[in-house]
Structure 1
Amino acid sequence: MKLLILFASPRPRGNTAQLLEKITEVFDESVEITRFDLYGMDLKSCIACRRCQKVTDSFHCVHDDDMQEIFDAALESDLILFATPIYSFYCTPPMKIVMDRLVYGMCKYYGETMGPSLWAGKTIALLSTFGYPEEKASDLLVEGLRRYAKHNKLNFLGAYGERQRSYKEPFMNAEVEKRARAFAEKLMAYDDNLN
């Protein structure tokens, strides 16, 4: 399986990074991982100019930045894992930039003629961390990704998130690690279905 991880936390050793580390430890050598740390990349916001729609068989954008690398990796991947903390009830800014740029660059729906979704059939999943209870923190992003998947003709494998209950105690503990590994097993089960 080719797994693309889009990591959108500004904290390289923060809660999202800790969960991601526990998840990737479960993967065996059959999983080929490509990871982008979005906060360290040059990513410009979509301006909805729709020039990407003039090229219907590949990604195209007026911005000359690092997005082409992400686009290429997304097309090569089987599974894309969006990994982000929740800030103000949604993903962090670089993740939102990538989501916007991918939906326009991958989906040729917005030009003079209706084109294809270049990444139709790919599968996405969400890993998130948050401070509020899940139903008041990640619920909007989970629903957003469900709709995102449907619009893009993607498969939504599911979401896993963990709450930081108190800054006075460590985020990672045996129960959190157990749940992270269970999510990794779900991702690996998807890999088994590919073969």
Structure 2
Amino acid sequence: MSNIVAISCSPRPNGSSAQITDAFLDGAMGLSTNLVTLHRPVKFKSIQDCHRCMGCKSSGKCVIDDDVREVLDDIKTADCVVFSTPVYFEGPNALYKMVEDRMYSFLDVNKVSTLEPGKKALLIITSCYPESDLDRVAETLSNNLKTIGFEMLDVITYCDNYGENPVSKNEELIHRAKSLGRKMRNTPTV
């Protein structure tokens, strides 16, 4: 059994990054006993930026009391975390960035990760822009996740060319996401 947490930062529940995330979760759930938790920050009632108050360095966890704290707690207990975001203005959207900044709490005062070793991350990045922008964003976000303490399971990037290539019609992409999810069925827990 794997404990999988998905953080879908798309403001559109049927957007490209959300559809790829859903395909991964479909594969992960199957007939398995995986525990899956899905967070959609766009639905949060209370969400704050990192204040860089450094409270996390003395308490060991983020001290801001809002809906992101539950996400951070779930990340700590997860075997695999799926991070998905659309690209806006050549970077992740604000919801992703807010969650990413709050993960600063997973680094101690010496910038060493406090997460359990072996925690996997799948990064899903979508855009209507050319693929070259996605590769640059993927490299930056992957490096940030590695710094925080994740091992990269994979990175999926997809450009829908302003809606001309919808995810729903790309069987190869859906199959890839579902296959990665099925792979998690047989992954030992952290």
TM-score category, normalised to shorter length: 0.7 to 0.9
Q: Deviations 1:104-151 (Å, cap 9, x if unpaired)?
A: x1111x3xxx47522142111111211122222x22321123322332
Structure 2 unaligned regions, length at least 5 = none
Residue pair 2:6, 2:38 contacting (<8 A) in 1 also = yes
Equivalent positions of 1:121-140 (< 5 A) are: 121=117, 122-136=119-133, 138-140=134-136
Deviations 1:145-174 (A, max 9, x none): 33223322220122112211244x461344
SS at match of 1:146: helix
Give 1:78-93 correspondences, 5 Å limit.
Answer: 78-93=79-94
- The answer for the alignment partner of 2:47 in structure 1 is 43
In the alignment, which residue of structure 2 is the partner of 1:18? 19
CA contact (8 A) 2:121 2:150 kept: yes
In structure 2, how many angstroms separate the alpha carbons of the residues matched to 1:193 and 1:23? 14
Name the SS for the 1:86 alignment partner: strand
2:186 alignment partner, one of 182, 186, 192 = 192
1:154 is aligned to 150
SS for the counterpart of 1:194 is: coil
Q: Which amino acid aligns with 1:189?
A: K
For residue 161 of structure 1, what is the amino acid of its counterpart? Answer: T
TM-score normalised by the chain length of structure 2:
0.86
Which whole-Å CA distance do the structure 2 matches of 1:79 and 1:119 have between them?
12
Aligned AA (2:124): L
Cα offset, 1:78, TM superposition: 0.4
Higher RCO (Cα < 8 Å, 6 or more apart): 2
In structure 1, distance between residues paired with 2:80 and 2:116: 12
Change (3 A) 1:170 1:132: closer
Instruction: Determine if contact 1:23/1:183 at 8 Å carries over to the other structure.
Output: yes
Paired letter, 1:75: K
* Structure-1 residue corresponding to 2:33: 30
Runs of 4+ in 1 over 6 A off after TM superposition: none
- Kindly, what percent of the aligned residue pairs are identical? 21
Distance 1:148 1:120, change over 3 A: farther
Equivalent-residue separation in structure 2 for 1:16 and 1:152 (angstroms): 22
Offset, 1:79 = 0.4
Aligned residue pair count:
184
Rg: which structure is higher?
Answer: 1
